[in-house]
Amino acid sequence: MMKLLDAIGLHYDIVANKFDQVDEEDQEKFRNQIKTEISTTGLKGVDHVFLVSAKNPKMFPDWLTMVDYLTGSTN
């Protein structure tokens, strides 16, 4: 799907939910794996990657960052 978005020149964000299910000691590795896969697959239109937990939004700062970004807020 993302390759199709790239092919037609659209930009997009990647949101990975349930980040609370990734063990704390594996979270940085998970972040790096996503970045590596974006690079390896040659995705061009990725603007942001948000790692969130809908059940525990306060656990991860990406949740508030994503909401601010989507609402145009500068908090």
> What local confidence, expressed as pLDDT, does residue 57 receive?
83
**What total number of domains does the chain contain?**
1
The model's confidence at residue 11, banded by pLDDT at 50, 70 and 90, is: very high
pLDDT tens for 16-65 read: 999 999 999 999 999 999 999 999 999 999 999 999 998 888 888 898 89
Q: What is the pLDDT of residue 9?
A: 96
Parent domain of 48? 2-71
CA distance 30 to 34: 6
